[in-house]
Amino acid sequence: MSQDHQAIPISFLDLAPVPQGKSTAEGIFQTVAMAKCAEEVGLNRYWMAEHHNMPGIASAATAVLLSHIGSQTQSIRIGSGGVMLPNHAPLTIAEQFGTLQALYGDRIDLGLGRAPGTDGATFRALRRQMNDAERFPQDVQELLFFLSNDTESSPVQAIPGAGSNVPIWILGSSLFGATLAAHLGLPYAFASHFAPQMMSQAIAAYRDNFKPSAYLQAPYVMLAANMLLADDDATANYHFTSAQQSFVRLRRGERGQMPKPVHDMGEIWSPAEKMMVDKSLSVSFVGAPSTVQPKLDAFIAQYQPDELIITANVFDQDARIRSLKLIPKLNLFTLQR
């Protein structure tokens, strides 16, 4: 253990990638294997993100897939990172996550995002309107109420859900979510794995404005990072080209499954696209543990997160599993044993 830093928990964020040439069922099978491995390694949480209309991501029905993950694991916390609340009625989410809590006990987390997690046409297909996001603060408070112990006299109750007190997190990549989380006294997770531009400002806004609450007495920041560990740097960098290609395709508006890695990204992206991807994925730790360690040390020393949540959104399942199994070789992390 490094003597310079306090150990922090590490968690995993999964998009349930569907690799090129695989079926959705095969992608979900691989996701279950990742969740089991994360639990065996000793990670703290296993979160899944809601996305729609994306052939390479199988976690659209987030609560349904989390229930399956819960049935295949024993102790690791499971939750959303996040549910895009403007897509749903707060009562519906309270019932879904109240059901998860009834099934799997106090292992459930509910991370909430304000973005739609999709494109405009799909947003309309979800029967939502773009201004629904403007109600996000009120919707969060309504959801907190439905999950609380205070609904007995309410004409509407979440059943299951009422009294479950499932922990709610605010997710974000701007000052809006940071300020809201601080005002409500909730834990905050920043999406630095793909939108790191306002990370410093958001962390400062959250910590400076935090109000202790019944949910949390002191600010708690979780930062997201891409992490792909391998036995050598070349192997890690090769497999990480899957994530880089996915980002290029997303910005081009191209749809498709998780692409296979390539040996030369120069054949894929333009110089401008490379600059965009490098900036967006700048919070990435890719390589052998000995290569990643000093970069990780510096990152944690600078931003002082209370927890780190990592993602490894690449094509090769063996590479993803190997990356998880190498995490104990890193210092700075407390693993759940």
Q: What is the mean pLDDT of residues 99-109?
A: 97
Cα(268)–Cα(275) distance, integer angstroms: 13
Q: Could you tell me which of 211, 224, 261, 219 has the C-alpha nearest to residue 241?
A: 261
State how far the alpha carbon of 133 is from the alpha carbons of 84, 139, 159, 312, in Å. 9, 9, 25, 28
Q: Is 123's pLDDT higher than 90?
A: no
The 10s digit of each residue's pLDDT in 12-22 is 999 999 999 99
pLDDT, position 56: 86
State how far the alpha carbon of 325 is from the alpha carbons of 81, 89, 308, in Å. 22, 39, 16
Cα(184)–Cα(86) distance, integer angstroms: 18
Yes or no: say if 204 and 260 are a contact pair by the CB < 8 Å rule.
no
pLDDT band of 3, cuts 50, 70, 90 = very low
- Supply the CATH classification number for the domain 8-334: 3.20.20.30
Yes or no: say if 150 and 164 are a contact pair by the CB < 8 Å rule.
no
User: Is this structure's pTM higher than 0.85?
Assistant: yes
Q: Which residue has the tokens 């609904």?
A: 151
Q: Is 69's pLDDT higher than 50?
A: yes
β-bridge partners, 311? 226
DSSP tag of 262: -
The 10s digit of each residue's pLDDT in 259-305 is 999 999 999 999 999 999 999 999 999 999 999 999 999 999 999 99
Cα(318)–Cα(48) distance, integer angstroms: 20
> What residues contact residue 42 under an 8 Å CB cut-off, 6+ apart?
328, 335, 336, 337
pLDDT, position 1: 36
Cα(132)–Cα(93) distance, integer angstroms: 16
The 10s digit of each residue's pLDDT in 164-180 is 999 999 999 999 999 99
